[in-house]
Structure 1
Amino acid sequence: MTGRLQACVDGYQAIGRLPSVVAGVLRRGVLVEVAGAGDVPGPDPADVQYRIGSITKTFVAVAVLQCVADGLLALDDPIGAVVPGTGYADATVAGLLGHVSGMQSEPVGPWWERSPGVGLDDLLAANDGTGAVADPGEYFHYSNLGFALLGEAVARLRGQSWWDVTRSRILEPLGMGRTTYLPVGPSAQGFSVGHFAGTLTREPHQDTGAMAPAGQAWSTVQDLAAWGRFLAQGDPRVLDLDVLREAYRPGQRDYGLGFRVVEAHGRRLVGHTGSMPGFLASLFVDPATGDGSVLLTNATTGLVTDAVPARLLGDEPVEPAAPWTPTVRVPDALAGVPGVWFWGNTAFELRWHDERLEVHSLALQNRQDVFEVRGDRVVGVAGYHRGETLHVVRRGDGSVSHLDCATFVYTRTPYDPDVEIPGGHPA
């Protein structure tokens, strides 16, 4: 087993161009194996902190369910009963937990994950309810904004910040001392990897303020293994297993009340994926057996996080992979060459990778989002941006400057210096 896990992690690092990656496997709720690849900070891959993004939402979900169990809240309560200043006052607690409230995916303003966080008053004022993309229950629409409201509800019901509640009522009882709000070394620096040249750009580690319940936390393989054990077995000091199992019942899109549900080798696993600028994360566990997997990496992209458990918990052979090394400098002979080129009308990507120039056809890439023109709007009809408006931002001469959809800014060149970038341009 040891060799297979290491081979999986080596493969992820090489194929995904990940600066570093660490992973672990649980059997019957026990972390039995850990592996790392790339430039892992510190001597122990099980104890290095990475940002875990939306796995933070599972902490918030448990904190909300604790409030329900204590009679402070009901799942069908409107969030406005606890957070009266929100423009989405009629959204129910269950609707927010299950991402079926109909509210927009991201808050109004610059991309919150990469920008300095704002306070609650500013967040509520900017999101007055006019950004709704669907009626409640109409369809699954992932909403980070919704979890900001849930975190604030927990804070108001308990009389302390949502993170203090998380630490005292969840992390401390479970012995998760290496799970923190801000990084505590050894911890990984987050990077985005230059698509064409394979160079590294440091990403900011922002305090996301009022949006923090949606993805702020940092953790380790060791701590997330303890969290996985809790998700499989429950703990009366935190939350009973029967309550957790009800929360795992999938509603729309294989999502329960704050938990994702995936299938792997005929088993149903629960947990969550996570992403923040410079980081990806995956934690899933089989509640029936306690078997599970954890993976953390310090790259913005390069990994399909919800496919990790099927890979790490499988038994199929894994081919060895040579490690990927980030590019420091493209050779002078190829300066200006990496990028998109055309042979007639056919597009190709020329990528500098592992000291070679690779040519990839762009004709067979996977489709991620689909938009339609509806009147004067360009509206998402499939994918993450379903229901959101794609704004085509033009220069004074009518040429396209950039695209903006739900605070995601798309530019012709990476971090275009002529376009305002959420969180600022890399130094």
Structure 2
Amino acid sequence: MTAADSQAENKVVEPGGLRFGPLTMMPGVSAKNLFGLFFASFFGIATMSFINASQPYVMTEMLLIPLDEQGTLAGNLTVVQEIVLLSLLGPIGALSDKIGRKPLYVTAFVLLGLAYFLYPLAGTILSLFLFRMIFAAGAANNVVMLPAVANDYPQEGCRAKMLATCFIFNGLGIVIVLAIFRGLPVRFADMGFDPIWVGRYWLWVMAALCLFVAVVIALTLKPGAPKQLKKREPLLATFKIGIRAARNGRIALAYAAASVSRGDLSVMSTFFTLWLTQEGIRQGLPTAEAAKTALTFYVFVQGASLPWAPIAGYMLDRIDRLYGLAIAMVIAGVGYSSLWLLDNPLGMGMYLCAALIGMGEMTANLAATSLIGKEAPERGRGAVLGMWSFCGALGILTVALVGGYLFDNVSQIGPFMFVAGANILLFFWSVFLILRRFSENASAKSGSA
């Protein structure tokens, strides 16, 4: 099949499909099913982000962990979560092909709810790790099911638009849900509850929300397994194909960009609220008020990224992918480096830094995704994309381990300077490939002359 034939096939609209704006669903997908997907998208990332947002309060008030030990613990919890998540991604995807998406999507939110119920009951560090593993199992189901359902429902010609729509709901959910939850500890404290029960009620409200989401999607998502399945390559063979593809310098750069861009997200989710909560405590704020202030800035980061997303997407679609990645790394590097200049992390200057970080975070992720999307070959594309995702997971693990050590032993802004340096290094790598291409083009022209 030629490229033109493929494009023509993508434009064919199967009759009987539900239309929602620019989106056309596959026959059999109802408005109720579509609502279920958007509902799950809205709450999906928000319910997963809350674990790190609430964690400083749990460690400080409920487990009485010294402030100078919390960075390492937060990093190690993220490492354990990521290891469990990586080990479950493949089996969950395969199981969903056999029994359908709905049972596993419902399971995701049930497990998240269970984890949030147990987390504030942890009396030891060991139990905290065990409950985090339950959370990781729920997160793994959530991470796999969102793109799976988002690809199942639309017709071929609007799959990218469907994914973009779901990502918008992801972002809106983070901003709105966390904006509401950030004030709950202060409200519970004002009602006279002691710090331990404040923390328990805070996380139990999130547990109840997760179970409510599970019920809604159980009633709205389309049942059954997908009709068309593709034969899966053996894992080792896929891994080898992905590694060999890195002989292409631009693909190797895309792999590194996955590590750095995912590391950017990890440093914010793991250490940003932890840093600001501890700073608030040092400035004399009650822990509940410090957590509220920290979450205010975290929500602002996510809010700043939303309006910037279409601007960054428009820019990246109109310039060479290498140029786009270089620009993205500069924006992200400047954003994280700006934290070094703050005299008071809880002052007004943080709003500017948070906006820069949100813009840089969004640009870096879009640039990394668009680069691998362009460079991944048609043959072995799945293997290359799989390796790209694997490199992203390595980035999360690296930032969690290194960042945790830097946070406790060097400086609380150490993790952010680490990822700032990684972004700048990737900028220079991009520039190197750009200059090498110029040199190759110049040599080709002189040779032809």
TM-score, normalised via structure 1 length: 0.27
TM-score, length of structure 2 as denominator length: 0.26
Q: More helix per residue: 1 or 2?
A: 2
